[in-house]
Amino acid sequence: MSTYTRKKLTAGIELLAPAGDMNKLDMAIKYGADAVYLGTTAYSLRAASGNFDLRYGLPAAIDKAHENGLPAYVTMNIIAVPGDFRDAAQAIKDVQASKADAIIVSDPGLFTLVREIAPEMEIHISTQASISNARACNFWYKQGARRIVLARELSMSDIKEIRQEIPKDLEIEAFVHGAMCMAWSGRCMLSAHLTGRSANKGACTQTCRWRFKSEPAPQYLLTEMKRPEDQLLMEEDQRGTYIFNAKDMCMIEHIPELIASGISSFKIEGRTKSPFYVATVVKAYREAIDTWAADPKNYSTDPEWLRDLSQTVHRPFDTGFYFQSPQEDAKVFEDDTMIREAAVVGMVKGYLPQSGLVLVEQRNKISLGDELELIQPRGRHIHIKADRIFDLEKNPIESTPHPQMLYYLPVGEHVASGAFVRRSGDKDTPKT
């Protein structure tokens, strides 16, 4: 195990960020995460993420996290079949050698193998294990687990009750933001059935977001037999119907309740999301937690946090099952669209104090007159109008049409490296 000085937690709450690749790890660090979770090229439930190879990428990522005072937890949370164990022992040894702070597992077989090979390694039990009661928590605690990632289907009152009935040194982790699944704790067979790519192996194709056709009529009502008044409209348009589509979780307006529930770690979903997504979500929750800790009695939600979160690509926001049970509200909606209210147009690479120019790497084209925001890792956003744009020779240009081209914007005040340049008003509906 590694020895390093861990970043001090605010109010004892860990803000846990996804690190799908090195770039996202950088954003998690810069924008205020307390810890990161990441996957390897095998045994992770996010096969579509960049992930890290066991021999070189994983040690480098963990070293970088540790250098910045962040623990790094490695996911090995697939639901394993016999063939998965051929290389599992070596994978565990490699994770141990990388000085990871914990391994996240869901399968009892992998759990016991970790205990045999790396008995000192801290183990967290994944949400994929569907842990939804105190007895299950206590069972895993007796086996040696030190953290439980609770099932997302639990209510706030359920979590409070569980917290009271488990050992004080058993930590609770719970998702507070990001995509949800229409299946219980992500245990879904749709993708495997239709594509041969199993969600339980990390290769989910998000089949629930696909278009389904209703035959023979263009419209049906799906009625639950015992609740005829609760009908789900199976409406088909020219694109199809989307009866399995889950909303996205957003708990930014409920930080005091989350803290009062006894959750130790606030987890952000999103290893396959963009670096901008990681940066924006981490910053919003970082500011919310810090604001609460500074003055709990007078705490209130800053509308800017929700506005910033709304600038990311997302489905309609909801509070998950914290206040409503799956039986009351399945949290699905009948559209396949994602919402984006702003576009990332660049990333700040440096600042020239003598001239007040910011060096930007292009992500999307901007033109003279565009209204822009610079989103920094800390502090307020900077609003500017692109009245002037310069190329690298500081010649004036009218736009930035070339992918990843470098250019200068006059700002007049210091801007941190790693800041994003955002253009509001790009309200479109990109697909996943």
Quote the pLDDT of residue 3. 86
What share of the chain has pLDDT > 90, as a percent?
Answer: 67
Per the structure, the count of domains in the chain is: 3
**Banded model confidence at residue 356, pLDDT cuts 50, 70, 90:** very high
**Does 333 map to a domain?**
no
Containing domain of residue 369, as a range? 340-428
Pure H helices in 19-129: 22-30, 57-67, 88-97, 108-117
pLDDT for 236: 46
Q: Identify the pLDDT of residue 341.
A: 66
Q: What is the per-residue pLDDT for 429?
A: 44
What is the domain-level CATH number for residue 409? 2.40.30.10
Q: Which has the higher per-residue pLDDT, 43 or 183?
A: 43
Region for 264 from its dihedrals, namely left if φ exceeds 0, alpha if ψ lies in -120 to 50, beta otherwise: alpha
Q: pLDDT tens digits for 70-110? A: 999 999 988 888 998 999 999 999 999 999 999 999 999 99
Res. 333: pLDDT tops 80: no
- Across residues 343-365, what is the average pLDDT? 96
Task: Please give the residue that has the higher pLDDT: either 289 or 321.
Answer: 289
CA distances from 135 to 43, 106, 131, 260 (A): 27, 16, 9, 21
Residue 66 lies in a domain: yes
Q: 157 and 111, same structural domain?
A: yes
The pair of structure tokens assigned to 165 is 């009935």
| pLDDT value at residue 221 | 57
Q: Are residues 266 and 380 in the same domain?
A: no
Counting residues of the chain whose pLDDT is more than 70, the rounded percentage is 77
Query: What is the rounded (10 degree) CA torsion for 299, 305, 309, 311?
Result: 160
Measuring CA to CA, how many Å separate 111 from each of 77, 84, 97, 100, 388? 10, 13, 18, 16, 58
Question: Over the stretch 242-265, which tens digit does the pLDDT of each residue have?
Answer: 455 678 899 999 999 999 999 999
Query: Quick one: pLDDT at residue 321?
Result: 87
Asked if residue 217 has pLDDT above 90, the reply is: no
Residue 140: give its domain's CATH number.
Answer: 3.20.20.70
Last residue of a domain, one of 206, 225, 245: 245
Residue 343 has pLDDT above 70, yes or no: yes
Domain end call among 288, 318, 348? 318
